[in-house]
Amino acid sequence: MRSFLEPSGFISGFPLADPIIGLVITIAIFWIVWDSAKTIFTRLLDGVDPEIPKEIFHAAHHVSDLRKVTGVKVRWLGHRLHAEVNITVDASLSVEQGHAIAIEVRHELLHHLRYLSDATIHVDPLTASGPEYHHIEEHSHDGLPTHSH
């Protein structure tokens, strides 16, 4: 009787078993390497899982006085994530009240997303909310060429 260790085949009478099993193992190794390479390359480019901004939107909306979230940016800083979140509050609130809402949003984010290291919260009034209110028109000053921000 032959042993499975003999060079004639893994299973007695089936000499193609060794190459087939070797091919399956090779495919599994390539699959793992490909998946790991995609993850590493994405991290090198500061890529973030698309579900994370959705989680941030969801967590921020746990704050009662928040009107809406108008923007979320997330990036890697070392092994942790940092978020920049634009929120909208009622225009009638004081600066102090708007700041308190921003602190509560940050608190919610840090509790709901354990992998988040920090969050910067920008507060806009409901009357001037969104990216169009942050654009600075083309201008010139201090001898610099005409530019915009």
Q: For 50-75, what is each residue's pLDDT tens digit?
A: 899 999 999 999 998 899 999 999 98
Distance (Å, whole) CA 68 – CA 87: 6
Q: What is the pLDDT of residue 6?
A: 56
If you ran DSSP here, which 8-state letter would residue 139 be given? B
* Of the candidate ranges 3-17, 31-45, 72-86, 131-145, the one whose mean pLDDT is the lowest: 3-17
- Mean pLDDT for the stretch of residues 45-54: 84
pLDDT above 80 (res 148): no
Residue 79, both tokens = 């092994």
How long, in residues, is the chain?
A: 149
Residue 12's alpha-carbon distances to 18, 58, 73, 147, in angstroms, are 11, 59, 60, 78
Q: What pTM value is reported for the model?
A: 0.66
| Share above pLDDT 70 across residues of the chain, in percent, rounded to a whole number | 91
